[in-house]
Amino acid sequence: MAYDFLRKHFEDEVVDKLEESLSFSPTRAIIFDENKISKETLKLIFPLLEDHPYLKNALIDTKQSYNLGKTLLHELGAYYIMDSSAMLVSYFLDVKDDDFVLDMCAAPGGKSIALSLLNPRCYIVSNDISRSRQQETIKNIERMGLSNICVTLNDLTNLKLDKPTFDKIILDAPCSGSGMFRKEKKMLEDFSLEKIKALLTTQEKLLEKAYALLKPGGELIYSTCSFSYEENEGQIIPFLNRHEDMHIFDIDHSPHFYHHKDLSFALHVFFYLFPGEGHFMSKLKKDGTRETNKPLNIIEQVANDHIYLTNERFLALKKDFYLLRPGVLKASKVSKTWKLEHHYAKAANELTKVEIDENDAKNYIYGLNIKVKDKVEGYVTLTYKNIPLGLSKISHHDAKNLYPKGLRKKIN
């Protein structure tokens, strides 16, 4: 059976229920941008979506009734598709205004995006070791039109920086993935006890780096999409023993979650208790008093033929982090000419906005030039239902299509 390996640490009744719930259909969820669309509007469009038990700006498609990734609203960045369990990590971190947050293993960016949607006034460093996966993170951030995320590319187990730097940290650690068996059958096929053992050292190193980078009074959530004791309780209990200045929070004791007797303040998300995939999470706090951060001013920074809208805190990281996208990409130099970028039109709120209808929005995404009624010339941000769609250059009512060629698609 798929979960027999859990019987060493979990009650037979729990393991049996996990086995039974593998036959349940996976769920799908969205977290939406409340500045772009309301829950009421989304429910009118998708009436079978259900409220998320915790996040007010999230909805769950329990029966996968809709193809949510093929809609105009998705392309506009009105919402992000994400597992309903995974978004709990960002929710329980409870980020405040001006918090400096590190998402250590972020690609393709879901938890960073959820953090930004939950509080657009924090500052997020979204890191991963994989360049190709971080390119997907950048695409997702651009589509969502977010401006408070710095994308970095680092193996944090080898990062020289050991200075407490961040107010909050998410460590969604690389894991064996047993919580994903229901959603991704390949994870079950690839699973082995040797895979668990091979990941333990990396998880421990990342936890120690998280400890080093966390400010006094700061908070850390350690999470995995694994059910295995060794990767979860088996990591956190010795970590707490090594660091007397770290303490665990009681995140939530509702019937939605399972709590292991050895670490009852941590929680497991099991299929048969919660409408989402499998997850483990524990929230830890470092002793000390937190400093109050001041809001940061936007800085226009030129680097390697690019202009970025960034801030001093992101830029200070370049001594130790490889900055792949340190904020909003405003413009790039092409053949000695500066050209405005898609991310700038989506996120900066600095260009004149021109509203278009649904048919024109779909044609624009497909790559066609369109006609507009507005008497405006030059570069603009095209919008649909007041949601930024992308960049265009207008001349005599002709709107030139500047939607990135790699993103163009047909939307029915």
Same-domain status, 250 and 359:
no
Angle CA(205)–CA(86)–CA(127) in degrees, nearest 5? 45
Other C-beta atoms within 10 Å of 74: how many?
Answer: 17
Pairing of strands 123-128, 100-103: parallel
- Tell me: do 161 and 241 sit in the same domain: yes
* Model confidence at 185: pLDDT above 90: no
Candidates 393, 22, 313; CA nearest to 188 is: 22
Are residues 40 and 124 both part of a single domain? yes
Domain boundary among 286, 314, 339: 286
Helix (H, G, I), strand (E, B) or coil at 352: strand
Question: Which of the residues are catalytic?
Answer: 225
> How many domains in the chain?
2
pLDDT exceeds cutoff 90 at 291:
no
Do 77 and 144 contact (CB within 8 A), yes or no? Answer: yes
pLDDT exceeds 90 at position 187:
no
Q: What amino acid occupies position 320?
A: D
Q: Please indicate, yes or no, whether residues 275 and 370 belong to a single structural domain of this protein.
A: no
Does position 388 have pLDDT exceeding 90, yes or no?
yes
Tokens 């979204």 sit on residue = 126
pLDDT tens-place string over residues 171-184: 999 999 999 999 98
Q: How confident is the model at residue 85 (pLDDT cuts 50, 70, 90)?
A: very high
pLDDT at 205: 98
> Token digits for 80?
């992000």
The alpha carbon of 410 is separated from its chain's Cα centroid by a whole number of angstroms, namely 26
For residue 20, give every residue at least 6 positions away whose Cβ sits within 8 Å of its Cβ, in sequence order, or none.
272
Per-residue pLDDT tens over the stretch 303-314: 999 999 999 999
Asked whether residue 20 is assigned to any structural domain, the reply reads: yes
Model pLDDT, residue 412: 87
What digits encode the pLDDT tens for the residues 231-279? 999 999 999 999 999 999 999 989 999 999 999 999 999 999 999 999 9
Query: Please, what sign has the CA dihedral across residues 259, 260, 266, 269?
Result: negative
pLDDT at residue 325 greater than cutoff 90: yes
- Which residue among 257, 286, 315 closes a domain? 286
Please state the pTM of the whole predicted model: 0.96
Residue 263 sits in the same domain as residue 379: no
Half-sphere exposure of 211 (CA within 13 A, CB side): 17
Chain mean position to CA 161: 24
Position 343 in a domain = no
pLDDT band at 189 (very low <50, low <70, confident <90, very high): confident
Is pLDDT at 190 greater than 90 in this prediction? no
Helix/strand number for the chain, H first, E second: 12, 22
Distance (Å, whole) CA 29 – CA 275: 9
Inside any domain, residue 242: yes
170, 250: one domain: yes
Furthest C-alpha separation in the chain:
72
The H-or-E segment that residue 233 falls in is helix 233-242
Q: CA-CA distance, 208 to 162, in Å (whole number)?
A: 10
Q: Does residue 104 sit within a domain?
A: yes
> CB count, 10 Å around CB of 393?
14
The pLDDT value given to residue 250: 94
- pLDDT of 140 higher than 90: yes
- Model pLDDT, residue 265: 97
Q: Is residue 44 part of a domain?
A: yes
Shared domain check, 360 and 278: no
Domain around 237: 4-286
Task: Please state, in angstroms and rounded to a whole number, the distance separating the CA atoms of residues 210 and 165.
Answer: 10
Q: Does the structure show a pLDDT above 90 at 186?
A: no
Instruction: Round to the nearest angstrom and report the end-to-end CA distance of the chain.
Output: 43
One domain, residues 259 and 361: no
Q: Is the pLDDT of residue 188 over 90?
A: no
> Does 200 fall in a domain?
yes
143 shares a domain with 10: yes
- Looking up residue 219, the CATH number of its domain turns out to be 3.40.50.150
Same domain, 10 and 134: yes
Q: What is residue 1's predicted lDDT score, i.e. its pLDDT?
A: 81
130-146: average pLDDT = 98
**Of 236, 260, 286, which one is at a domain's C-terminal end?**
286
Burial 88-99 (b: 16+ CB within 10 A, else e): bbbbbbebeebb
Residue with tokens 């998705």: 74
Task: Name the strands in the sheet holding 337-340, side by side, starting at the edge strand that comes first in the sequence.
Answer: 299-303, 306-310, 328-334, 337-340
**Residues 94, 45: contact at Cβ < 8 Å?**
no
My answer on whether 252 and 376 are in the same domain is: no
Q: Percentage of residues in the chain with pLDDT exceeding 70?
A: 100
Give the integer Cα–Cα distance in Å for 287 and 218: 8
Give domain status of residue 121, yes or no: yes
Task: Please provide the average confidence, as pLDDT, over all residues in the chain.
Answer: 96
Instruction: Return the CATH number at 362.
Output: 3.10.450.720
Both 225 and 95 in one domain: the answer is yes
Torsion over CA: 97, 115, 24, 231 (sign): negative
Instruction: Note whether residue 162 is domain-resident.
Output: yes
The answer to whether the CB of 113 falls within 8 A of the CB of 99 is no
